[in-house]
Amino acid sequence: MSSALGYLGLLAALVSAAMLIVRGMTGLRRTERATPARTRLAALGLLVGTATAMFGLEFGLLTNDFSVEYIANNSATTTPFLFKVASAWAALEGSIILWVLVLAAFTYLVWLGHQRRGDGDRLGAGALMVMGMISLFFLALIVTVSNPFRLCITAAMVGCAESGSLPFAAFAAPLEGFGPNPLLQNHILMAVHPPLLYVGYIGLTVPFSFAMSALLLGQSGVEWLQRTRRWTLVAWIFLTAGILLGGLWSYEVLGWGGYWAWDPVENASLMPWLAATAFLHSAVVQLRRGMLQAWNFMLVIGAFALTILGTFLTRSGVIVSVHSFTQSAIGPMLLWFLMLIMVGSLTLFAFRIHLVASSPRLDSLASREGAFLLNNLLLTLFLFVVLAGTVYPMLIELFTGSQVGVGGPFFERIGLPLLLILIATIGFGSVAPYRSASRAVMWQRLRNPLRAVLAVVAMAVLLGARNRWILLTALVTGFAVAVIVRHLWASARAAADGQARQIPAAALRVMRNDTHYWGGQIAHVGVAVLALGIALSGNLGVEDELRFEPDQTSEFAGMELTYIESFVRQESNREVLGARIEIRRDGALISTLEPRLNRYFQTGQTVGTPSVNIRLGGDLYLSLVAISESSASLSVFWFPYIWLIWVGGGICVAGGAWAWLVKKPTRRRLVAEAHDGDAVSGGNRA
Amino acid sequence: MPEPIRRIVAGLATLGLAIVVVVGLIAGEPSGSDRVGSLGNRIRCPVCQGEPISESSSETARAMMEIVAERVESGQSDGQIVDYFRDRYGDWVVLDPPFRGATLILWLLPVFALVGGIVVILGRVRGVHVEGNELEDPAP
């Protein structure tokens, strides 16, 4: 029943996508055909069809309809409600249903924008055509090789042994399902991290579609940029939040104490983020100064191609990792699609470049544009390093059969210095005027922040701080933050007309008056905080292996850890084995931690759940390795100030949200920056 | 204080602070005084899914960590210890690709890309070589 409903939804969506392509194409070619009314049914049908498919899958999961192979093998009667819902995207076939649903939602939102423009919007019609093509590909992928609605025809004791490709065939339903992968049903973040990442990935389809439409029309100028700026921002916000929560999930669930392993699939999410971040910056240069037109097309094509590459890496089984789904036939198809996208869009770009590329030259490197260029150079370089380090080992293995290792040390040795230079660029670029920055203006804006941060770091050196990386990071991040704070202070003071008590309110007005610029600055502060968290927790962290007998106490990082007892707990889907450990400092009880091992019944796998005591000074992180009647072995970690990473990432997301959601005040025209004695030449609007 | 003296004092103070910071950076320790841990980060656990031996809880990884600790204790250099594992497991076991052979290109590509990028950007600057290019805004 759920299977038939879902399958019908897919077919309806498939037809709608085909219709969207045809109607979008005629609208692209002829102005009088570019009317929203002609594409309404197709856009709506795509959304309703994919939503029906998702509903069918969720309905089947919640009603334990094990006649569907996907449900029998990825859910169980004992699976808790939330994880039943999340099972819809916990495995390959279901995850692509979510994928097309998000894509259809974006397509419908683009159609609404198309409708607001009224008749004759050829650019919008073309973008809808491109989105229809991408939807059609993924829908075709689902109904041919990756169908989650296949019916089970041979039931096993648990789960489904064999399934038939016909959706309405006679079926056999097993009594009990397998349940989700234990790693994926161990934490609530599993329900949240993938959808956020999908919204981020798929949001990048929108600027890509508009860019392709603009190229097809041979349309130069900034219309496609203006219309997709908000979508790029939305995609960026969700991508950032998704990556951040992925790191948090890894930290909270996997028990190895880390949050980022430079796993190829993590890299696959980082690469589009780097491209999108570079694009958010370079789009400003084109909107403000008309430069970098061709480069922006390249970045958008690159960002979209990287999302497809990421999808391929995750779903083709070419890599082994916690993220990868099982091997399947969709890998080669995704690879072909990636090739098609690359060849098609780059060919189009090559044929149209003479129409769209007109680059006024840079007046001076010492300017806002110069800083943006440096930012783009560094971000693209970082992207290039991550791409090379991820793909190169696979190519070597493919062609020579020999395996080479490229892991964390490689990426960190190149990436961390790049990150520091980028943050230093924030300090300079955020307050540099456009066209050219004179030394006098820059010195006025930078001298006090520079002195303040030098004073703080010098103090730290005199007090005995010796770690080179931490000092350097503190210097660079402190400088960037101080420059931004000073700039806000100066702008607010000018806007408050010298009345000291008005300054906080004026600062808020200044920030609301130019949400894009100040949203960006909030995100910059977030990046600085995050970098400081990486440096502190990475360089000052300590770890140890401790083996306890009952009532034994061990010293670790200035704390006393006492093993109290072991415990066993039966839950509906798993058995929980844990150790109760009391943490004391100077004899006073701080906390009781319970690191656990969970054994899942259906698969027999054991997955740990670390236990973390979070304090301002740092996290004490206990991970249970083994436990028996007489002893418990634990990995213990001390990560100073690691919360700065999560807080910094959160500030980043908040900055994006500020630029996206906060409305400019309309009634009172503000006089904020025009008054700022040193914020001349419109230095702020970005 | 008269303005010129005030400026000189402020300049000297800034310079003094900068010297303290620079000396601190130069005299500072590079991170990772924990040699066993940083070596462990560079060696891949052969039985796990792309984890270094320092982070894996498998028995193989633990045994390898003990070998690393023993060899650090007996005074071997980082290079010797890494080579010991490379001889046994091949280049694959090192997470840090060697600066030679097939992976040399991996280290050099970013350098080429950086140089290429800088050349392209400099090419876009109007009159970058003209008369020192001193740019002064009108007074702020």
pLDDT digits (tens, 9 = 90+) for B73-95: 888 888 888 888 888 887 778 87
Q: How far is A458 from chain B (nearest CA, A)?
A: 5
Cβ–Cβ below 8 Å for B106 and A471: no
Cβ–Cβ below 8 Å for B92 and A404: yes
Task: Please count the other Cβ atoms lying within 10 Å of the Cβ belonging to residue A265.
Answer: 20
- For residues A550 and A53, the answer to whether their CB atoms sit within 8 Å is no
Reply yes or no on whether the pLDDT at A655 is more than 60. yes
Confidence of residue B133 (pLDDT cuts 50, 70, 90): very low
The runs of H, that is alpha helices, within A165-292 are 189-203, 205-217, 223-249, 264-289
Q: How far is B39 from chain A (nearest CA, A)?
A: 10
Q: What is the mean pLDDT of residues A298-315?
A: 91
Q: How far is B99 from chain A (nearest CA, A)?
A: 11
Reply yes or no on whether the pLDDT at A44 is more than 90. yes
- For residues A2 and A65, the answer to whether their CB atoms sit within 8 Å is yes
**For the ranges A161-170, A178-187, A193-202, B49-58, which has the lowest average pLDDT?**
A161-170
- For residues A213 and A127, the answer to whether their CB atoms sit within 8 Å is yes
Confidence of residue A326 (pLDDT cuts 50, 70, 90): low
Reply yes or no on whether the pLDDT at A672 is more than 60. no
Cβ–Cβ below 8 Å for A361 and B42: no
| pLDDT in the model for residue B102 | 72
B29 → closest Cβ in A413, A467, A475: A467
Write the pLDDT tens digit of every residue in A572-608: 778 899 999 999 998 899 999 999 998 888 777 788 8
Higher per-residue pLDDT: A254 or A508: A508
Reply yes or no on whether the pLDDT at A425 is more than 70. yes
Q: How far is B31 from chain A (nearest CA, A)?
A: 6
Contacts of B106 in chain A (CB under 8 A): 388-389, 392, 406, 410
Highest mean pLDDT among A125-139, A219-233, A240-254: A125-139
Contacts of A468 in chain B (CB under 8 A): 25, 28-31
How do A632-640 and A542-548 pair as beta strands?
antiparallel
CA-derived radius of gyration, chain B:
25
**For the ranges A528-537, A619-628, A642-651, which has the lowest average pLDDT?**
A619-628
C-alpha dist (Å) from residue B14 to A196, A443, A447, A458, B11 = 46, 13, 9, 11, 5
Reply yes or no on whether the pLDDT at A467 is more than 90. no
Reply yes or no on whether the pLDDT at A162 is more than 60. yes
Among A675, A681, A674, A686, which Cα is nearest to A441's?
A681
Highest mean pLDDT among A255-259, A582-586, B126-130: A582-586
Q: How far is B43 from chain A (nearest CA, A)?
A: 9
Q: What is the mean pLDDT of residues A212-241?
A: 91
| pLDDT in the model for residue A58 | 95
Q: What gap in Å lies between CA B97 and CA B91, rounded to an integer? A: 8
Give the Cα-Cα-Cα angle A112, A344, A116 (nearest 5 degrees).
10
Confidence of residue B30 (pLDDT cuts 50, 70, 90): low
Q: What is the mean pLDDT of residues A368-379?
A: 92
Interface with chain B: mutation pick from A256, A398, A404, A681, highest number of B CBs within 10 Å: A404
Give B122-129's long-range contacts (Cβ < 8 A, gap of 24+): B122/A365, B124/A359, B124/A361, B124/A362, B124/A373, B125/A361, B125/A362, B125/A363, B125/A364, B125/A365, B126/A361, B126/A362, B126/A363, B128/A365
| pLDDT in the model for residue A677 | 40
Residue A183: how many CA atoms within 13 Å on its side-chain side? 13
Contacts of B109 in chain A (CB under 8 A): 384-385, 388
| pLDDT in the model for residue A401 | 72
Q: What is the mean pLDDT of residues A180-205?
A: 85
Among A427, A293, A433, which Cα is nearest to A366's?
A433
CB-based burial of residue A198 (10 Å sphere; 0-12 exposed, 13-18 middle, 19+ buried)? buried
Q: What is the mean pLDDT of residues A196-219?
A: 94
Q: What are phi and psi of A543, to 5 degrees?
A: -140, 155
Strand order in the sheet with A618-627: A542-548, A632-640, A618-627, A611-615
Contacts of A413 in chain B (CB under 8 A): 96
Q: What gap in Å lies between CA A519 and CA A686, rounded to an integer? A: 10
Helix (H) or strand (E) holding A588: strand A588-593
Cβ–Cβ below 8 Å for A406 and B95: yes
**Cα dihedral across residues B58, B64, B70, B75: positive or negative:** negative
- For residues B90 and A401, the answer to whether their CB atoms sit within 8 Å is no
Q: What is the mean pLDDT of residues A146-172?
A: 77
* Residue A113: alpha-carbon gap to chain centroid: 25
B125 → closest Cβ in A361, A409, A470: A361
* Residue A444: alpha-carbon gap to chain centroid: 37
Q: What is the mean pLDDT of residues A22-42?
A: 92
Reply yes or no on whether the pLDDT at A258 is more than 80. yes
Q: What gap in Å lies between CA A452 and CA A471, rounded to an integer? A: 14
Reply yes or no on whether the pLDDT at A22 is more than 90. yes
Minimal-distance CA residue of chain A relative to B45: A405
| pLDDT in the model for residue A281 | 95
